């Protein structure tokens, strides 16, 4: 399908039978729990104390293959590795779809400027029970312009409402948005920003994609391609930045240098909860559609198959692509687990040093590097998307001293639970952390060393031929449907 806004997409999800509508949900905790527990997309209305029609949507794409197909106009039969591989092939068809500038759009149905800005007019959710605040931006995008190159960039960063015209913003070190923001702040200038709080799937998928920006490409060029039509944008009156014309809620404002505030604690994608001293955004203009819809997503520990699924197979496809571009041979697959934390690469281990090469590059290429603490390289017969098989291969084929290589001073994030500099955060810092954040990464080479005789380590599983014979002879008595 093609869609031009969230409302069309919600209708399609409804027709596909994957939408639940709920009234009278409490913004205080219930929104987050509903997202965690439901596999459907859930549209909530009639929050106590707010006008009917001021809604919140969770699980827009979530872990559903069907919603991912609706979001991208692309569908694949397979799951697991087949899905990752198909998406990687699909990415080769990418063609930039530049934005279309328009003079007006539904986002301008309601405009508030200056002292009329009031972010509390929306039923802003508190997503986890222990959160220290209410977050308007958890599945929204933030648009910045590189002051040196003029390139437009967007990513997805959490934003807490501090007061009616002030938001916190949480951008980890090394993200494009972090580097761009610092270019302004280090010169003592405020950083102009547009933030969007009710988005549609193409913007969501493009924001988290860690795309390369060769030839000045922007996330908008990619989201237009995903959606199948150009993103329509309006030039913001305060920033000159593009505002998606058919989004639900957006602000224009600036990040002033040295203006920091404590936010959170907030449940993070690592599965842990943290407070942080972060820059703030002072809002100058607030725009929203009639009956606006907040799109929300509580990061947290996700049970398998829920939540960040599209993120993980997109990311695996990207690491695979970057490994190939770096020249690594004979890659059979890539799997990602727990967001950024574990990457598995499966290869046909073809020469001494090959498996180490694959592991080191997977650990250090752009898509795999950020926060990616662990990489495991396994032999070709191990499916890198099946965690049990990966761990089995690792613990039965490795001698720890030989297998594990530790890499110091790698790209991390203050979100890492094992970062010693995180304790410095409460002391406050003007622009950068008091202490830079690094991580120690590890590559586990769990392939059979090439010098091992191939006849060693023979699998002890009944052959497919023998299992099929048993199935034919005694399948019904044993209540067997198929061979393993
Ligand atoms: C739902 C969701 C929430 C996210 N929240 C944050 C966040 O609070 N801080 C952060 O640094 N990255 C966050 N990310 C990851 C970034 O959006 C992602 O790394 C993005 O590609 C960065 O874009 P950039 O490098 O162009 O700035 C989030 C991603 C998703 C999907
Ligand atoms: Mn970017």
Q: What's the gap in Å between 208 CA and the centre of ligand 1?
A: 6
Look at residue 310 in the predicted model and tell me its pLDDT. 65
Closest residue (by CA) to atom 28 of ligand 1? 156
pLDDT in tens, 344-379: 999 999 999 999 999 999 999 999 988 778 999 999
What's the rounded mean pLDDT across residues 131-141?
A: 96
Look at residue 18 in the predicted model and tell me its pLDDT. 96
What's the rounded mean pLDDT across residues 429-451?
A: 78
Q: What's the gap in Å between 141 CA and the centre of ligand 1?
A: 9
Q: Which one of the ligands is nearest to 168 CA?
A: 1
Closest residue (by CA) to atom 7 of ligand 1? 157
Which of the two residues, 109 and 416, has the higher pLDDT score? 109
Q: Which one of the ligands is nearest to 267 CA?
A: 1
Whole-angstrom Cα distance, residue 26 to residue 377? Answer: 46
Whole-angstrom Cα distance, residue 394 to residue 374? Answer: 13
Look at residue 428 in the predicted model and tell me its pLDDT. 45
Whole-angstrom Cα distance, residue 170 to residue 320? Answer: 28
What's the rounded mean pLDDT across residues 272-297?
A: 94
Given phi > 0 = left and psi -120 to 50 = alpha, else beta, which region is 271?
left
Encoded tokens for 136: 């308007």
- Closest listed residue to residue 160, CA positions, set 61, 243, 244, 260: 260
What's the rounded mean pLDDT across residues 260-282?
A: 89
428: CB partners within 8 A, 6+ apart: 260, 277
Give the CATH architecture of domain 95-119+126-296.
Roll (2.30)
Ligand 1: residues with CB < 6 A are 139, 153, 155-158, 170-172, 175-177, 207-208, 210, 297, 299, 311
**Ligand 1 nearest atom to the CA of residue 204, by list position:** 31
Q: Which one of the ligands is nearest to 156 CA?
A: 1
> Which residue ranges make up each domain of the chain?
95-119+126-296, 309-445
pLDDT higher than 90, residue 111 = yes
Residue 460 φ then ψ, to 5°:
-105, 75
Closest residue (by CA) to atom 23 of ligand 1? 155
Q: What's the gap in Å between 353 CA and the centre of ligand 1?
A: 34
Closest residue (by CA) to atom 18 of ligand 1? 208
Q: What's the gap in Å between 156 CA and the centre of ligand 1?
A: 4
Q: What's the gap in Å between 142 CA and the centre of ligand 2?
A: 11
Please provide the average confidence, as pLDDT, over all residues in the chain: 91
Would you identify the CATH topology of the domain 309-445? Answer: UbiD C-terminal domain-like (3.40.1670)
pLDDT higher than 50, residue 115 = yes
Closest residue (by CA) to atom 6 of ligand 1? 157
Look at residue 313 in the predicted model and tell me its pLDDT. 86
**Ligand 1 nearest atom to the CA of residue 210, by list position:** 21
Closest residue (by CA) to atom 17 of ligand 1? 156
Closest residue (by CA) to atom 24 of ligand 1? 176
pLDDT in tens, 371-396: 778 999 999 999 999 999 999 999 99
**Ligand 1 nearest atom to the CA of residue 154, by list position:** 26
- pTM of the predicted model as reported, rounded to 2 decimal places: 0.93
Q: Which one of the ligands is nearest to 180 CA?
A: 1
Q: Which one of the ligands is nearest to 219 CA?
A: 2
What's the rounded mean pLDDT across residues 408-427?
A: 67
Closest residue (by CA) to atom 19 of ligand 1? 208
Local confidence band at 456 (pLDDT 50, 70, 90 cut-offs): confident
**Ligand 1 nearest atom to the CA of residue 158, by list position:** 8
- Closest listed residue to residue 465, CA positions, set 480, 484, 444, 450: 484
Look at residue 269 in the predicted model and tell me its pLDDT. 84
Whole-angstrom Cα distance, residue 8 to residue 86? Answer: 26
Whole-angstrom Cα distance, residue 142 to residue 355? Answer: 39
């Amino acid at each position: 399908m093609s869609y031009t806004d969230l409302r069309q997409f919600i209708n399609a999800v409804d027709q596909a039978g994957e939408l639940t509508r709920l009234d009278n949900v409490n913004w205080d905790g219930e929104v987050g729990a509903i997202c965690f527990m439901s596999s459907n997309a859930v549209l909530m209305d009639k929050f106590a104390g707010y006008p009917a029609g001021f809604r919140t949507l969770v699980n827009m794409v979530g872990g559903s293959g069907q919603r991912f197909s609706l979001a991208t106009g692309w569908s694949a039969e397979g799951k697991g590795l087949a899905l990752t591989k198909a998406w990687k092939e699909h990415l080769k068809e990418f063609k930039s779809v530049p934005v279309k500038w328009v003079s007006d759009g539904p986002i301008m149905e309601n405009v508030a400027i200056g002292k009329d800005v009031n972010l509390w007019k929306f039923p802003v959710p508190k997503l986890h029970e222990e959160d220290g605040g209410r977050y308007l931006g958890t599945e929204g995008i933030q648009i910045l312009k590189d002051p040196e190159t003029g390139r437009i960039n967007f990513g997805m960063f959490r934003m807490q409402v501090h007061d009616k015209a002030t938001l916190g913003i949480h951008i980890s070190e090394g993200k494009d948005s972090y580097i761009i923001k610092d270019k302004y702040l280090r010169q003592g200038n405020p950083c102009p920003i547009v933030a969007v709080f009710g988005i549609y799937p193409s913007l969501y998928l493009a924001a988290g994609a860690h795309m390369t920006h060769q030839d000045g490409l922007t996330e908008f060029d990619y989201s237009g391609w995903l959606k199948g039509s150009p993103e329509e944008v309006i030039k913001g009156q305060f920033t000159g930045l593009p505002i998606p014309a058919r989004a639900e809620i957006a602000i224009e404002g600036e990040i002033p240098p040295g203006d920091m505030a404590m936010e959170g604690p907030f449940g993070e994608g690592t599965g842990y909860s943290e407070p942080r001293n972060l820059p703030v955004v002072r809002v100058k203009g607030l725009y929203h559609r009639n009956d606006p819809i907040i799109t929300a997503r509580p990061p947290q520990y996700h049970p398998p198959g829920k939540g960040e699924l599209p993120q993980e197979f997109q990311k695996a496809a990207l690491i695979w692509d970057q490994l190939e571009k770096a020249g690594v041979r004979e890659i059979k697959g890539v799997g990602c687990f727990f967001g950024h934390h574990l990457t598995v690469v499966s290869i046909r281990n073809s020469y001494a040093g090959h498996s180490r090469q694959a592991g080191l590059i997977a650990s250090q290429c752009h898509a795999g590097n950020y926060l990616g603490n662990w990489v495991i390289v396994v032999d070709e017969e191990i499916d890198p998307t099946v965690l049990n098989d990966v761990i089995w291969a690792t613990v039965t084929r490795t001698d720890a001293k030989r297998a594990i290589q530790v890499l110091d001073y790698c790209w991390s994030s203050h979100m890492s639970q094992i970062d010693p500099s995180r304790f410095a955060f409460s002391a406050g810092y003007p622009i950068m952390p008091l202490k830079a954040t690094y991580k120690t990464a590890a590559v586990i080479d769990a392939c059979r060393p090439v010098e091992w005789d191939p006849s060693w380590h023979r699998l002890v599983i009944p052959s497919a031929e023998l299992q099929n014979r048993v199935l034919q002879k005694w399948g019904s008595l044993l209540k067997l449907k198929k061979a393993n």
